[in-house]
Structure 1
Amino acid sequence: MADYIKFVDVTKCDGCRACMVACKNWNDLPAEFEDFQGSYQSHEKITANTWNVLTFNEQENSDGDFDWLFRHSSCLHCVQAACEKACPEDAISHTEFGSVVIDADKCVGCGYCVQNCTFDVVKLATYQDKNGKEYKKAQKCTLCTDRLEQGLQPACVTACHTECLIYGDKAEILAEAEKRLANIKERYPNANIYNPQGIDGTMTVYLLADKPAVYGLPEDPKIPLSQVVWKDYAQPIGKAMLGATTMAVIGAVISNSFLKKKDPEQGGHDHD
C-alpha cells in the first residue's frame, strides 16, 4: 500500500466548492448544467464528467440549532477495489500511489465497474468516433495521479483553503486525524474516522461528524465473494485454459500441415 493518503475533514469544510472547480479545470472536464433541485447543492451526484461533488446535509444539533454537514464526495480509491475485481479486461489497476485508475485504451465500456463500485462513483461517458458512432468509456477521479507523478498534490487539495483536504504521509495524517477526532467529540458525539477495513481501507480517509449513513456512505463495505472468486481464481484459470486450448489448436494445424507436405498423395483417398 502507498505511504501517502488523502484526508478529508468534513468539519472544516465551508462549502466553497473550490475543489469541484479545481477538478474540472485540471482534468478538462466539460460543464454540466442541471435543473435547480431546491437546495444549495450544485449537482445531484457524481457523473462521468463531474468527478467530485460537494454534498450538503442540514442536521439539527444537540443545541436545537442547525448544522451544515458537507462532504467532499469523490472516488475513495479502495485498497480492495470492487471495480477492479469486476473488470473483465484488466482495464482498472492500482498505481504506485495507491490510486485506482482506468486505462481508456483497454476499457470496452461494458459497465461492470459501474454496477459493482462500492461507492457509486464510476460512471460511463459517451463519445463519438470519427464516423459519428457512439461508444462508452468508464471514467472517475484519478486522485490526480498525473500530478502526483510530477511531485504535485491533487488539484482539489491545492485549492482547499480550510485544510479540509490534506494529502501527505499516511502515518502523520492518521495521527492528525485522531487528534482532530478527539477535539470535536464533544460537539459531534457520533464523529468517527471512516477508513473501512472490510475493503482493507481506502486512500481517501474521512473524518465524519456523524455516522457514515448520514453522508450516504456504507457502514462496513466488503468485496462480494463472487467478485473475489471471479477475478482472483476463475478468470486467471479461464485464461490459462483458453491459452492451452489455443496452443493445442495451433499445434494441430501446424502438425496437420506438416504431414500433408510430407505425403502430398494422402488426402481423402483410400489406397489399395
Structure 2
Amino acid sequence: MTKYVKYVDVTKCDGCRACMVACKNWNDLPAEPTEFLGSAQSHAKTTADTWNVLQYIEHENGKGNLEYLFRHSSCFHCTDAACEKVCPENAISYTKYGTVVIDQDTCVGCGYCTQNCPFEVISLKEYKDKNGKEYRKAHKCTMCTDRIDEGLQPACVTTCHTGAMEFGDKDAMIQKAEQRVKEIKDRYPNAMVYNPQGVGGTHSVYVLAEKPSVYGLPDNPKVPTSAVLWKDYAQPIGKAMIGATTMAVVGAFVANKIFSKKANGHDEDGGGNHE
C-alpha cells in the first residue's frame, strides 16, 4: 500500500487561512471564541475543535528586516508516534496510508497522548452523557483519512490557492521538498526539510525557511524512552505472561505513573514543543 505525505512549503504560504476553514467545514468542527493574540493569528495552537492553525510569526531576517513567516500547523502523523505508544487502550493506530488516527469509541480520555506528543497537537474535549456525567475524548487532525479512502486529497490541500501544500506518494513528496530547498537557499540560507527522524520521519513534511525553533518546533523531537520500553517490550511480554485482560488493568496503572510526566512538570528527552 502506498504511503502518503502532505508536503507543506511555508515559503509559498500567504496566510489566507483557507486551510483552516476547509478543515472546519469537512470535519464539521464548531467555531471557537478566541482572545485577540496581537496579530492576525486566530488561535494560539491546535485544539480539540481546531485541528489546524495558521501561524503568523514575526521574524527578523539575516538582513535585519522584519518579516512575517507563516506555517500551517497540524498533526505531523509520525511514523513512530509517541501517542500510539502511550495509549493504554490501543485507541490510536496507523492506517494503511501512514496516517495516525484515534478511535473515538475506544478512547477513554486519559490524556497520555496529549502529554507525550512532541508537537503538542492533540487535545481533549469535554462531553456529557445523557445522565450529565462528564467524560473526555482526544481529538486531532486525521489527515482526512476518510477522504483518502475515496481517492480524494485532504481538505486543507485542495483549498490551498498558492500551491503551498501538495499531497502524494511519500518518496515523491520528500524528493520534491529536497529539491525546493535547493531552489530557495539563496533567498533563505537556513532553509531545510523538516522531517524529523527521531519520530521515524513524518507524514507531514515541511520546507522551512528558517530553523525549526523559529516556528516553535523542536529541533530533534524523539519518542520518550519510557514509551518505547512500555509499548515495544513490557506490553508484549506482559500479555504473553499474564494475559491481555489482566495486562490492560496493569497497563492503565503503569501508564498513569510513567506517562503523566508533563503534568508533573517533567519533560523526558527534551522533545517538547515550544509553540
TM-score by length of 1: 0.87
Alignment of 1:84-163 (within 5 A): 84-163=84-163
Deviations 1:131-177 (A, max 9, x none): 12111001000000000000000000001011111001222222221
Tell me the residue number matched to 1:208.
208
Tell me the residue number matched to 2:53.
53
Deviations 1:215-236 (A, max 9, x none): 1111111112211110111122
Tell me how large the CA RMSD over aligned residues is: 1.5
**Structure whose alpha-carbon radius of gyration is higher:** 1
Separation in structure 2 between the aligned mates of residue 2 and residue 143 of structure 1, nearest angstrom: 15
Separation in structure 2 between the aligned mates of residue 153 and residue 228 of structure 1, nearest angstrom: 32
User: How far did residue 183 of structure 1 move?
Assistant: 1.5
Deviations 1:37-95 (A, max 9, x none): 21110111111110000111111223433221111000000000000011000000000
Deviations 1:232-266 (A, max 9, x none): 111222233332997xxxxxxxxxxxxxxxxxxxx
Q: Could you say what secondary structure the match of 2:110 adopts?
A: coil
Amino acid at match of 2:236: P
Change (3 A) 1:244 1:156: closer
Separation in structure 2 between the aligned mates of residue 179 and residue 232 of structure 1, nearest angstrom: 36
Q: Could you say what secondary structure the match of 2:235 adopts?
A: helix
Alignment of 1:61-100 (within 5 A): 61-100=61-100
Change (3 A) 1:31 1:244: closer
User: How far did residue 25 of structure 1 move?
Assistant: 0.5
Separation in structure 1 between the aligned mates of residue 221 and residue 106 of structure 2, nearest angstrom: 27
- Residue ranges of structure 2 left out of the alignment (5+ in a row): 247-275
Tell me the residue number matched to 2:269.
none
Structure 2 contact 170–203 (Cα < 8 Å) conserved: no
Change (3 A) 1:82 1:244: closer
Separation in structure 1 between the aligned mates of residue 76 and residue 108 of structure 2, nearest angstrom: 23
Tell me the residue number matched to 1:217.
217
Structure 2 contact 2–169 (Cα < 8 Å) conserved: no
Tell me the residue number matched to 1:250.
none
Separation in structure 2 between the aligned mates of residue 214 and residue 233 of structure 1, nearest angstrom: 36
Amino acid at match of 2:17: R
Q: Could you say what secondary structure the match of 1:22 adopts?
A: helix
Tell me the residue number matched to 1:193.
193
Structure 2 contact 198–221 (Cα < 8 Å) conserved: yes
The number of aligned residues is: 246
Moved more, 178-187 or 8-17: 178-187
Separation in structure 2 between the aligned mates of residue 240 and residue 109 of structure 1, nearest angstrom: 27
Q: Could you say what secondary structure the match of 1:42 adopts?
A: coil
Amino acid at match of 1:219: D
Displacement over 6 Å in runs of 4+: none
Separation in structure 1 between the aligned mates of residue 207 and residue 81 of structure 2, nearest angstrom: 21
Amino acid at match of 1:176: K
Separation in structure 2 between the aligned mates of residue 121 and residue 178 of structure 1, nearest angstrom: 25
